[in-house]
Structure 1
Amino acid sequence: MNFNFLSPVSDTVLAHNQLLSPLCLGQKIKIHSEQQGIPDLNNVKIVILGVLENRNDINYIGEDFNLNEIRKSLYTLYPGNWGTNVVDLGDIEKGETAEDTYFALKETLTLLVENKIIPIIIGGSQDLTYSAYRAYDSLIPMVNIVNVDKSFDLGDTSKPINNTSFVGKIVLDEPYNLFNYSIVGYQTYFNSQEEIDLMERLYFESYRLGEVSNDITLVEPVMRDANIVTVDLGALKASEVSLRQKVSPNGLDGKEICAVARYAGISNKVSSFGIYEYKPSQDDEITAMLVSQMIWYFIEGVNCRVNDDDFSKSENHQKFITLAESHELIFYKSTKTGRWWIEIPFLANVNNKLKKHTLLPCTHQDYLDACNDIIPERWYKAYQKNSV
């Protein structure tokens, strides 16, 4: 594989790594260095990839940044009982323009995802998610994105792309490959009513911060259906992060964001995980350590993946049929993991996007609700979207 756009991990970080215990993660993974070059990616499942682009941040004032503190923190952690090979590929530097960086990221991600390697992207501004989405143009026909964020980022699409409008660009730009967009942990006062109404009209899914904090397991089926997961560090509460990273007194706490990262890792479909809006400062250690722990939990999740979504053999699942509001709802429960799915019927008279019966991840509670004549909201939105 040819990665022309990558620069090696800095010698400062590598020197720091040499002083660590041989049991630490930094000593267990392969690292792209000036001396050794890019490691062989045969049998590698996960790569860490920095992207040093932040010029389309609406608050950009010309500052550069690096990811040295995150790497130092990550390398000091101890790996779990993992059988997964991890490589730190280094960084994609800023291009001549932001569009050059987008192109470099898109090409690199396409190559990785094509080869069944999961990139963990640590980035500057979250508009880089647009490139992550475009990397799938030649790979799969329909993409599902989950955004862990305080705001929807639909923005004003008549203006050039920035870190508050990239989702609007994803929705409106051709080719139209977006099937579903879900937001986890949004805070209503950071979103206009027009945007909230638009999310409803597009049958996209949104989970408020209160819902997620009240029951973090809501996130699991949403992640199970995602191809791309993108995290804005602005979704974290101010008490969890360093000075320049503080956005809001409310937000997800460290434990919750690590649970979210693990759910993303466990999902068999997630093939790209991005952590964005990192802003180093003098008191940077705490944010760097939290990002490192998110990466750790994502890798842990990937190691815990179970192929439980093969429904071709009846012994792999139990089937349940119930009636809710005159709709026949068909549920499946995996005998391996106990996870649940609900069937979205194929509408033969409609030119729908999926052309087949589709299984949508859901919760046991969705099944219990259906038994009480309540249609699960995820099913309703997917059904309506399928009918458009």
Structure 2
Amino acid sequence: MAFDFLVPVEDRVMAHCELLPAQSLGKNCYIHTEKDGLPVLANATMAIVGVKESRNAFEKKLEVLDVSAIRIQLYRLMLGNWDSTLVDMGDIEEGNTVEDTYFVVKEVVAGLLEENIIPIVIGATQDITYPAYRAFDGIKDMINLVAVDSRFDFGIDDDLISSHSYMSKIITDKPNNLFNFSNIGYQSYFNAQEEADLMERLFFDAHRLGEIANDLTLAEPVLRNAHMVSMDVRAIKASELCASANFSPNGFTGREICAIARYAGLSDSLRAFGIYEMENNVQSQQLVAQIIWYFMEGVNFRIPESPYSKTDDFTKYMVPNEMEEFVFYKSLLTERWWMQVPSIFSSHTKGDAMALLPCTEQDYLDACDQKIPERWYKAYKKGFE
């Protein structure tokens, strides 16, 4: 079984946990230890998995990721008013080859998905997103992937997979289970025009750093439809992390990235969360721990709802347009919005998962002004591909 490859959490983390107050996370999770072995997964909601593989890093890593230091910062945080159960599965060490590591990541994540447990992958490099994505094979047909990243990561060589080109591998590899890819926080000067053109051709969604930073709520509908989120810590400004030259002076603030993580957790579609590319310094470790805490809080406050399941809880809006009639739904409980995309019902599509598309109130107002919402148009076109 793939879980047999997991290395127990280090003794120094367990020694630190002994000194923590009863209300801390470290005292309220089940941890894979040398003494007690793997925790029982029954009733578990989320599971932490560390991945130390870094051989495919675009910028070579000078040291091994210290996942234990991140754990120490996470476990000292206080438990929220939550009813979920967290387990810590330990770490995946580097295999004999990178492919060996990928295989173990895929199997471990798949095993957790089959148990309906949300993996929280703490990885040294973002190429680990690829085996985590492949873990959905045979579990879910079509995947919506969201990357919180300053780059699109398509790279320039389809045959090479690195932390800057893993998306090319996801797009081209068979079976092709990627339904939609969305980027949150890209910075134009880091991305070649060819990459931006590819995003357009494939009707993928891209949201600039400034757009999201000016209104964080724009990230919510993007994340609401995600099955998997891959967060690159390099999307955060360097000063927030005391980070090295591989980080940018521009990026999300600590508050903004934590809000985005919470939106990700709130998405009842989300099955897997990964955070990558952090460095071994205390400020970085503290922020990563807080990002995970906010993600966990989001998961705990999920409100599963769909306009198709309980129509009494929604207001339906019909907006006539020259092209066709737009249909919007607004939740009376959460005030979240959805819009219907007719092309998704077409026989040309691989499924009806996108028939209801999360959106914003502004999309509804645009439709009222006879403007076609961009996210509606992209989903409409994608449905006939």
How does the TM-score come out when normalised to structure 1? 0.96
Matched, 1:321 2:280: no
Q: Distance in 2 between matches of 1:64 and 1:273?
A: 21
Looking at structure 1, the residues matched to 344 and 174 of structure 2 have their Cα atoms a distance apart, in angstroms, of 25
Q: Take 2:122 and 2:310, find their aligned partners in 1: how far apart are those partners? A: 39
Larger deviation, residues 356-365 vs 130-139: 356-365
Structure 1 residues without counterparts, runs of 5 or longer: none
**1:374 equivalent in alignment to 2:371:** yes
Find the counterpart in structure 1 of residue 51 from structure 2: 51
Distance in 2 separating the partners of 1:356 and 1:89: 31
CA–CA separation in structure 2 for the residues paired with 1:318 and 1:95: 53
Is contact 1:325–1:375 with CA below 8 Å preserved after alignment? no
Cα distance in 2 for residues equivalent to 1:89 and 1:236: 27
Q: Which residue identity is paired with 1:313?
A: K
Q: Report the equivalent of 1:305.
A: 302
For residues 174-213 of structure 1, what are the structure 2 equivalents within 5 Å? 174-213=174-213
Identity of aligned residues (%): 50
Residues 319-350 of structure 1, C-alpha deviation per residue, up to 9 Å, x if partnerless? 11102342211111122211111011146765
The 2-side partners of 1:357 and 1:85 are apart by: 30
Structure 1 residue 82 corresponds to structure 2 residue 79: no
Question: Is contact 2:13-2:71 (8 Å) kept?
Answer: yes
Instruction: Check whether the contact 2:345–2:355 (CA below 8 A) recurs between aligned residues.
Output: no
Spell out structure 1 runs of 4+ moving beyond 6 A.
Answer: none
Change (3 A) 1:317 1:324: same
Residues 245 and 319 of structure 1, relative CA distance in 2, 3 Å threshold: farther
Please point out which of 348, 362, 365 is paired with 2:359. 362
Aligned residue in 1 for 2:330: 333
SS at match of 2:4: coil
* Residue matched to 2:13: 13
How far off its partner does 1:66 sit?
A: 2.3
Preserved contact between residue 112 and residue 118 of structure 2 (Cα < 8 Å): yes
Q: Could you state the TM-score of these two structures normalised by the residue count of structure 2?
A: 0.97
Distance 1:121 1:148 in 2: 14
User: In structure 2, do the counterparts of structure 1 residues 355 and 223 end up closer, same or farther at CA, with 3 Å as the change threshold?
Assistant: closer
Partners of 1:121 and 1:357 in 2: CA distance: 26
Task: Determine if the alignment matches structure 1 residue 29 to structure 2 residue 22.
Answer: no
Match of 1:385 in 2: 382
Other-structure match for 2:67: 67
Q: Larger deviation: 363-372 or 202-211?
A: 363-372
Which residue of the partner structure matches residue 127 of structure 2?
127
Contact preservation (8 Å) 2:48, 2:122: yes
CA RMSD of aligned residues (A): 1.6
Q: Which amino acid aligns with 1:322?
A: V
Name the amino acid aligned to 2:27. Answer: Q
| Maintained 8 Å contact 2:185/2:208 | yes
Cα offset, 1:356, TM superposition: 7.6
Measure how far apart 1:244 and its partner are: 3.2
Separation (CA, whole Å) in 2 of partners of 1:90 and 1:341: 39
CA contact (8 A) 1:354 1:386 kept: no
Counterpart for residue 110 of structure 2: 110
What is the alpha-carbon distance in structure 1 between the residues aligned to residue 24 and residue 372 of structure 2? 48
> 2:55 touches 2:98 (CA, 8 Å); kept in 1?
yes
User: Aligned match of 1:295 in 277, 281, 292?
Assistant: 292
The verdict on how the C-alpha distance between 1:349 and 1:309 changes in structure 2, with shifts beyond 3 A counting, is closer
Greater alpha carbon shift after TM alignment, 252-261 vs 155-164:
155-164
Secondary structure of 1:48's partner? Answer: strand
Amino acid at match of 1:48: I
Deviation at 1:19, TM superposition (A): 1.2
Cα distance in 2 for partners of 1:315, 1:222 equals 25
Do the aligned partners of 2:254 and 2:287 also contact (CA within 8 Å) in 1? yes
SS at structure 2 position matched to 1:222: helix
Question: Contact conserved, 1:105 with 1:131, CA < 8 A, in 2?
Answer: yes
CA 1:61–1:288: 2 relative to 1, 3 Å = closer
- Say whether the 8 Å CA contact 2:236–2:250 is kept in structure 1: yes
The question of whether the paired residues in 2 share the 8 Å contact of 1:55 and 1:62 is answered with no
Code of the residue aligned with 2:54 in structure 1: it is N
Deviation of residue 381 (structure 1)? 0.3
Contact 1:346 1:355 (C-alpha < 8 Å) held by counterparts: no
CA contact (8 A) 2:307 2:329 kept: no
AA partner of residue 146 (structure 2): V
Check conservation: 2:344, 2:355, Cα contact below 8 A: no
Q: Would you say the 8 A contact 1:345–1:356 is kept in 2?
A: no
3-state SS of paired residue (1:324): coil
Q: Does 1:92 align with 2:89?
A: no
Q: Is the 8 A contact 2:243 2:279 kept in 1?
A: no
Alignment match, 1:285: 282
Measured after TM superposition, the shift of residue 40 of structure 1 is: 0.6
* Distance of 2:324 and 2:312 partners within structure 1: 26
- What are the residue-to-residue correspondences of 1:120-159 with 2, within 5 Å? 120-159=120-159
Name the structure 1 match of 2:237: 237
* TM superposition shift of 1:135: 0.4
- How many residue pairs match? The answer is 385
